[in-house]
Structure 1
Amino acid sequence: MADATLVGPAAKAFFSFSRFPLPHASLSSILITTVRSKSNLPMAAASLPGSSSASPSSSIHNPNPNSTQPSLLVFSGGTAFNGVVEELKKVTTRVAHVLPVSDDGGSTAEIVRVLGGPAVGDIRSRCLRLSDESTSEALAVRRLLGHRLPLDASVAKSMWYEIVEGAHSLWTGVSEPYRETIRAFLVYFQNQILRRSNGSFCFSNGSIGNFFFAGARIFFQSLDASIFLFSRVSEIPRESLVLPVISTNDRLTLGCELWDGTIIRGQNEISHPTNGRMGLINKDCASATRLPCGIKRVFYMSSEGCNLLHEVFPAVNPTVLDQLSKVDCIVYGMGSLFTSICPSLVLHGIGELIASRPIPKVLLLNGSHDRETTSMSASGFVTAITDALNRAHGNSNRRLNNHSSDYINALLVPKDGEIPIDIERLAAKGIFHVVTVDSINDPKVGIIFDPRSLIGALTSLILEIRNSCIMDSSASIDSEHSD
């Protein structure tokens, strides 16, 4: 009876949200708008055949943007690409964000340890970046769901109880319908902890959004349903999709094989090991112990596995494949190459579909090295992505043999970045579009793309490659007719 009382408002709210159609992303015409950046990229609005011309401002603020905005699919993790999401929203909201669900660090690790299930941290992080900011209540909801508890465990637990009881000042500005919906799932999350935990749950540095997400996922027994609910609560545009690359209620464990045969289990141990310590994760390459040698590949393994005999092959989320077949551009976002990008690329069906699409396929190169990519050049990044999509180092029955240019046809590179740009090797791989983009020096992570410059360069590149593909296709048809 207690459970029914607690989750009743949430269930009622969910079914009222359900009257909205699920986001859909089909496009019959495309308008590319380039926004002015610090690098003085030209303002331009250009349309492909079948679309209508519009000024940059009209395309950004079009009340019915679906007919004009380009559609993108972005493979990324939950941190690095977040910095450009706000700028990207000004050009198009028709973006499918594909994210891994294998993170096992930070507060996500504690949720997975006690309650099981997939990691939701990256999903939550992207949802918050996409959430509405147009009203004071939207900002209040975003502030609440984006809040992290203090590092001190006892202080964090005390604050958590204030929040879950509805007494904390973070609820200020959140109206009663939203309050009761959000609070119901936080209470349900607390209830699940009390039922399942053999020991105490550590709230240190815990994310309120993660707790809400986990409560919703367990209540609905569906990761997709929890994302849908979160999207409606935070008012994410309906044409923006946040997609787990694997739609599951099970725990996923990422492993990697080094070139010397060493196997490392767990995403956190691969990218930024903490030796079991709770708290903030330092992703700075200089602070982490170097890997004994380079990473050969990443793969999924059973939750208790420790070697290659425990490799498993989860199925890709069908919605990801559906979006890949429709979008106008595929983007490999910057971030942790092997633990944020490659986990989405090694799944069966991803490489096959990307190789078949004659559209822009753009790699956003990192501005600095991390533990996973020490000493790698730009062509090394391309090779790693190609090998992941070809599943080159796994089961021989599952391998592909596509060329790098089937998967990547352009690179955007931050100015003054650390990664060497080996133009000749890129050209040997069939990649001739390499564009340098204005950058900024972030004191925490080093050189990163200037967001406005990046989105301006990306939209220009989409149009350029798209037109090139159209001309190549027309030339091919003319050649066939002449024969």
Structure 2
Amino acid sequence: MIEERRRPKIVVMGGGTGLPVILRNLKGRDVDITAVVTVADDGGSSGIIRDYVNVVPPGDIRNVVVSLSQLSPIILQLFQYRFDSNDQFFAGHALGNLVIAALSEMKNGIFEAVQELSDIMQVDGHIYPVANEPLELNAEFTDGTKLTGESEITAAHKLIKHVWVTSSQHHDVAPKAVDEVIEAIMDADQIVLGPGSLFTSILPNLMISNVGEALRETTAEVVYICNIMTQKGETEKFTDADHVRVLNQHLQQNVIDTVLVNTKKVPDEYIDYQRWNEMSRQVVHDFAGLRQQGCRVISADFLKLRDNGAFHNGELVVNELMNLLGQVNMKQFEGR
């Protein structure tokens, strides 16, 4: 009897626009994908829906569902459609956000809602909201002041000292990730963090206590995709080693095993800073600082220039992730 080959398991954690870039390029590869999505967003259509119906903000989840869905482009366009009418309620809302809000009420929670939606949208992989309740992101800045709420923290444009999450519904109870998230982390071959805003997209997931504990204990290779540009206020003047240092300090251990760093220069005067007003400057490479933290460094051209902004080339990044997975599988085979 021929034993069925086990597909490598990869867990991608984050939020914002960076997560779908990786997932779109992972879809169709010979891997078992789990996307762990932050539930601490409180801006835009997501924030308005959260205020009205008290559900987890759906924006990041909507984009992840679309990135892994195998449905036709027209259905995905409909799901992503954002109303531009003058209706006081619908204007500015994405249709998918309303669907997720409705399913959340029907299923009495975001986790079961997303599992149902994944079936409807024919998702290739697993999508797990990190918690089954809306969370609030909190930050203390280097000047000692504190703020709550992702949009408020981002808008402050101040240097952040550290962040943490709290339940928006049960302030006296520490939030916990759902069991499926922890099981995915412990069973993974590779865990990918980023790309995305360091303090407001990546760390909100990691600051849930049982997620941090799982990352410290897992035998999976933890890969961090370092941002190409610094972000105004959040990471101004940060090197790539500074990004990794913040992650390790928040997790109270050197958790990052491998870091992917872009070394292709962004052309001078290319960035439209009025359009991409969160971008500050290109992240400086600090190889020595990275090595001091015990992580393997893979530096290459991961740059994609579009719309006068600097972004990750998802295909090149995923090719490197697949190479790393191949090395892990080879070691496991040799160890038998």
TM interval, short-chain normalised: 0.7 to 0.9
Q: Paired residue for 2:96? A: 209
Q: Distance in 2 between matches of 1:298 and 1:117?
A: 22
Deviation per CA, 1:282-332, whole angstroms, max 9, x where unpaired? Answer: xxxxxxx631xx212111246499xxxx67521111111010111110110
Is 1:412 aligned to residue 260 of structure 2? Answer: yes
> Residue 167 of structure 2 contacts residue 174 of structure 2 at CA under 8 Å; is this kept in 1?
no
Deviation at 1:470, TM superposition (A): 7.6
Q: Paired residue for 2:220? A: 359
* % identity of equivalent residues: 25
User: For 1:358, what is the secondary structure of its paired residue?
Assistant: coil
Q: Distance in 1 between matches of 2:31 and 2:117?
A: 17
Deviation at 1:437, TM superposition (A): 3.3
Matched to 1:435, the amino acid is: S
Deviation at 1:141, TM superposition (A): 2.3
Q: Distance in 1 between matches of 2:302 and 2:94?
A: 33
Is 1:67 aligned to residue 5 of structure 2? Answer: yes
Aligned match for 2:62, one of 115, 119, 124: 124
Matched to 2:107, the amino acid is: F
Query: 1:31-180 to 2 correspondence within 5 Å?
Result: 67-133=5-71, 138-150=72-84, 155-157=85-87
Cα 1:448–1:124 change in 2 (3 A) is same
Deviation at 1:69, TM superposition (A): 3.1
Q: Paired residue for 1:440? A: 304
Deviation at 1:466, TM superposition (A): 5.3
Is 1:223 aligned to residue 106 of structure 2? Answer: no
Which protein shows a greater Rg?
A: 1
> Residue 437 of structure 1 contacts residue 454 of structure 1 at CA under 8 Å; is this kept in 2?
no
Normalising by structure 1, report the TM-score.
0.61
Cα 1:435–1:90 change in 2 (3 A) is farther
Deviation per CA, 1:399-454, whole angstroms, max 9, x where unpaired? Answer: xxx3x1xx11111122326111111111111113323233211225x222222211
The answer for unaligned runs of 5 or more in structure 2 is: 267-281
Query: 1:165-204 to 2 correspondence within 5 Å?
Result: 202-204=89-91
Normalising by structure 2, report the TM-score.
0.87
Q: Paired residue for 1:242? A: 127
> Residue 103 of structure 1 contacts residue 109 of structure 1 at CA under 8 Å; is this kept in 2?
yes
> Residue 165 of structure 2 contacts residue 207 of structure 2 at CA under 8 Å; is this kept in 1?
no
Cα 1:375–1:223 change in 2 (3 A) is same
Question: Which shifted more, 434-443 or 342-351?
Answer: 434-443
Deviation per CA, 1:51-98, whole angstroms, max 9, x where unpaired? Answer: 9xxxxxxxxxxxxxx835321011111311212322211313511101
Q: Distance in 2 between matches of 1:317 and 1:222?
A: 12
User: For 1:382, what is the secondary structure of its paired residue?
Assistant: helix
Deviation per CA, 1:133-162, whole angstroms, max 9, x where unpaired? Answer: 4xxxx3332221111111xxxx242xxxxx
Is 1:454 aligned to residue 322 of structure 2? Answer: no
Q: Distance in 2 between matches of 1:420 and 1:447?
A: 14
Instruction: Compare the two structures and name the one with the higher strand fraction.
Output: 2
RMSD value, Cα: 2.5
> Residue 303 of structure 2 contacts residue 311 of structure 2 at CA under 8 Å; is this kept in 1?
yes
Matched to 1:424, the amino acid is: A
Deviation per CA, 1:3-51, whole angstroms, max 9, x where unpaired? Answer: xxxxxxxxxxxxxxxxxxxxxxxxxxxxxxxxxxxxxxxxxxxxxxx99
User: For 1:226, what is the secondary structure of its paired residue?
Assistant: helix
User: For 2:47, what is the secondary structure of its paired residue?
Assistant: helix
> Residue 82 of structure 2 contacts residue 95 of structure 2 at CA under 8 Å; is this kept in 1?
yes
The answer for unaligned runs of 5 or more in structure 1 is: 1-49, 52-65, 158-200, 274-288, 391-401, 475-483
Number of paired residues?
Answer: 318
Aligned match for 1:252, one of 118, 128, 135: 135
Q: Paired residue for 2:274? A: none
Deviation at 1:369, TM superposition (A): 1.2
Matched to 1:243, the amino acid is: Y
> Residue 350 of structure 1 contacts residue 389 of structure 1 at CA under 8 Å; is this kept in 2?
no
Matched to 2:306, the amino acid is: D
Matched to 1:299, the amino acid is: W
Deviation per CA, 1:348-394, whole angstroms, max 9, x where unpaired? Answer: 1223222223332111011111131111111111111112223xxxx
Deviation per CA, 1:163-196, whole angstroms, max 9, x where unpaired? Answer: xxxxxxxxxxxxxxxxxxxxxxxxxxxxxxxxxx
Matched to 1:296, the amino acid is: K
Instruction: Compare the two structures and name the one with the higher helix fraction.
Output: 1
Cα 1:103–1:467 change in 2 (3 A) is same
Aligned match for 1:290, one of 157, 163, 168: 157
User: For 1:453, what is the secondary structure of its paired residue?
Assistant: helix
